[in-house]
């Protein structure tokens, strides 16, 4: 890594990280047969996870020491394991660095990019995860995490591939500090650094609408708001901070409940889902 660090400042820039990953591919058993035309795209996808977790301030460079100590490197090195050695499809899909996962993410982006212009509009991103994410959340993602275009007004702003990778990483790692930090910026509707009961009400209203449209039973938004307060137990009982969400160990669940009708459904049906999982384990 230090050899690739062109300015010897102890940090890697994205193109340097991609070069490092490209050099590893022939030595990683599960990546050896990667189609040559996919290598460049794979390196972009793989490098982005390192920057998501090792460059929290989005300065465009990752500290080499931090990279070496990160779970990301450990996850990448798991691909040394020969495919024959009991690597299940599930394990491959869950490993961000697996070829299966990288192709899934690439295919997902291409499927969403209906006008094939290489970026995603708000309308296109709304189709992510079968359209279960709320409109207010998609709006806030663009407000907080998508750079403004050089031409035109606010409506011309579109999400590039790197920003899409961050978006997927945040949603697939909601329980991590980095994932929750990304999501909290979207939940914090007024940029005050905390959520009030009014914010929770505004956020959940969209989930509630999708919930009813899906033919589910009527529920009271105030009850859900109270349940979230009980789950988080904020230090200041009038507001929820990002620290409160991280410390309660249920921050990822709370975020899901507020941005994704499927996430709320999973929480609402958690006892049934748990029972199903236990029955499956018993059958095995």
Tens-level pLDDT at each residue, the chain (284 residues):
899 988 889 999 999 999 999 999 999 999 999 999 999 999 999 999 999 999 988 899 999 999 999 999 999 999 988 754 556 666 677 899 999 999 999 999 999 999 999 999 999 999 999 999 999 999 999 999 998 765 444 457 899 999 999 999 999 999 999 999 999 999 999 999 999 999 999 999 999 999 999 998 888 999 999 999 999 999 999 999 999 999 999 999 999 999 999 999 999 887 775 666 656 655 65
Specify the DSSP element, H or E, that contains 20. Answer: helix 14-24
Q: How far is CA 221 from the centre of its chain?
A: 26
pTM: 0.91
CB 130 within 8 A of CB 113: no
Give the distance from CA 124 to its chain's centroid.
17
Given a contact cutoff of 8 angstroms between Cβ atoms, the answer to whether 262 and 129 are in contact is yes
Q: How far apart are CA 110 and CA 136, in angstroms?
A: 23
Which region, left, alpha or beta, applies to residue 120 given φ > 0 means left and ψ of -120 to 50 means alpha?
beta
Q: Residues 232, 250: contact at Cβ < 8 Å?
A: yes
Which residue, among 96, 101, 197, 182, has the nearest Cα to 145 in the 3D structure? 182
How far, CA to CA in Å, does 48 sit from each of 15, 43, 45?
11, 8, 5
The answer to whether the CB of 62 falls within 8 A of the CB of 50 is yes
Give yes or no for a contact between 76 and 98, defined as CB atoms under 8 angstroms apart.
Answer: no
The residue written with tokens 């200041």 in the block is 236
How many angstroms separate the CA atoms of 206 and 218, rounded? 14
Structure tokens at 58: 């989005």
CA gyration radius, the chain: 20
């Amino acid at each position: 890594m230090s050899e690739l660090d062109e300015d010897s400042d102890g940090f890697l820039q994205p193109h340097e990280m991609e070069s490092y990953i490209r050099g590893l591919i022939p030595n990683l058993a599960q990546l050896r047969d990667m189609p040559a035309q996919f290598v460049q795209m794979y390196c972009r996808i793989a490098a982005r996870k390192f920057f998501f977790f090792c460059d929290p301030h989005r300065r465009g460079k990752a500290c080499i020491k931090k990279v070496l100590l990160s779970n990301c490197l450990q996850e990448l090195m798991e691909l040394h394991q020969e495919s024959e050695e009991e690597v299940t499809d599930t394990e491959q899909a869950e490993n961000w660095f697996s070829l299966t996962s990288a192709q899934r993410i690439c295919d997902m982006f291409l499927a969403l990019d209906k006008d094939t212009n290489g970026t995603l509009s708000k309308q296109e991103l709304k189709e992510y995860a079968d359209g279960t994410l709320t409109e207010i959340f998609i709006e806030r993602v663009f407000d907080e995490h998508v750079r403004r275009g050089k031409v035109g007004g606010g409506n011309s702003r579109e999400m590039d591939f790197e920003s899409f990778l961050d978006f997927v990483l945040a949603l697939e790692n909601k329980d991590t500090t980095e994932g929750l930090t990304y999501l909290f910026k979207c939940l914090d509707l007024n940029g005050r650094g905390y959520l009030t009961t009014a914010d929770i009400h505004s956020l959940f209203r969209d989930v509630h609408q999708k919930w009813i449209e899906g033919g589910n039973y009527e529920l009271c938004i105030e009850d859900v708001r109270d349940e979230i307060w009980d789950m988080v137990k904020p230090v200041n009982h009038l507001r929820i901070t990002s620290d409160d969400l991280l410390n309660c160990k249920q921050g990822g669940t709370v975020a899901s409940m507020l941005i994704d009708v499927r996430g709320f459904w999973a929480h609402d049906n958690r006892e049934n889902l748990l029972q199903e999982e236990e029955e499956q384990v018993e059958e095995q």
